[in-house]
């Protein structure tokens, strides 16, 4: 092959590689780059960090009862009585969260281990601890925004700002805990402490959740935490927003 033809082929190959490089997604010399050419939609997901022993996931399904009713019938407002006592104050560490589907209006029979990889639930309760299905709690994408000093009936439209996911691990995969020793979830400060009675009283607020099916929002209010003297017995109401 002649030197002239060899040179022509080399130039053609160089031009072809240059064109492929220019068309490829990623970083070029005039663009700053933090991810060595990885397209934004291929950013690795948040790692599934290991929970400490005292808040470890339990691989059994909660036996707590859940009673759901619509009142009045046809109103689209649902109320649940949830037994999230989890074996009481001594044994809750050995018992799982109880999981609710606020779209299907039912309990979800799933254990803590499976729940961390499941999109089938919205909110989970265990004693004073509450988590939502997003971020470090699960893959459901249930973001939450709080509306202070309002009741469920007061909230007629969803907020446009303030939505966050459930994050309680730092960048070193160290779990952040609340003052009582539970997970420091997005809503771990849902209560005020009543000094005279040593009771946890739900704050007057509404949580607006982005639905995991992408079809609008769910508004939720906690209205009770006790049955008699026994804590962990929640009453919550919810309805739907565009």
**Same domain, yes or no, for 125 and 31?**
no
**Same domain, yes or no, for 191 and 101?**
yes
pLDDT digits (tens, 9 = 90+) for 21-52: 333 344 343 334 444 443 444 445 567 899 99
User: Half-sphere exposure of 120 toward its Cβ, with a 13 Å CA cutoff?
Assistant: 13
Kindly report the average pLDDT of the chain as a whole number.
86
**Same domain, yes or no, for 157 and 221?**
yes
**Same domain, yes or no, for 18 and 126?**
no
Q: What is the predicted pLDDT for the residue at 229?
A: 93
**Going by DSSP bridges, is the β-strand pair 217-227/123-126 parallel, antiparallel, or unpaired?**
unpaired
pLDDT digits (tens, 9 = 90+) for 49-72: 999 999 999 999 999 999 999 989
Is pLDDT above 50 for 126? yes
**Same domain, yes or no, for 31 and 61?**
no
Decide if 101 is inside a domain: yes
**Same domain, yes or no, for 27 and 116?**
no
Number of domains in the chain: 2
**Same domain, yes or no, for 26 and 111?**
no
Give the C-alpha distances (Å, rounded to integers) separating 147 from 41, 125, 129, 184. Answer: 32, 20, 20, 20
CA distance 157 to 98: 28
């Amino acid at each position: 092959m002649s030197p002239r033809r060899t040179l022509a082929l080399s130039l053609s190959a160089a031009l072809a590689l240059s064109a492929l490089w220019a068309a490829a997604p990623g970083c070029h010399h005039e663009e700053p780059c933090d991810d060595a050419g990885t397209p934004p939609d291929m950013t690795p997901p948040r790692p599934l960090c290991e929970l400490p022993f005292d808040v470890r996931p339990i691989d059994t399904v909660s036996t707590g009862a859940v009673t759901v009713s619509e009142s009045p019938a046809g109103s689209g407002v649902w109320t649940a009585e949830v037994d999230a006592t989890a074996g009481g104050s001594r044994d809750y560490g050995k018992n799982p969260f109880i999981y609710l589907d606020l779209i299907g209006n039912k309990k979800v029979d799933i254990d803590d281990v499976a729940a961390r990889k499941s999109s089938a639930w919205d909110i989970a309760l265990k004693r004073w601890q509450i988590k939502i299905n997003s971020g470090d709690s699960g893959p459901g994408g249930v973001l939450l925004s709080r509306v202070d000093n309002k009741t469920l009936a007061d909230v007629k439209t969803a907020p446009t700002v303030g939505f966050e996911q459930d994050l309680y691990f730092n960048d070193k995969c160290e779990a952040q805990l609340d003052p009582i020793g539970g997970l420091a979830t997005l809503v771990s400060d849902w209560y005020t402490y009543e000094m005279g009675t040593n009771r946890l009283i739900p704050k007057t607020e509404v949580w607006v959740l982005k639905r995991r099916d992408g079809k609008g929002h769910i508004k939720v209010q906690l209205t009770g935490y006790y049955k008699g003297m026994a804590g962990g017995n929640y009453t919550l109401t919810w309805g739907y927003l565009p």
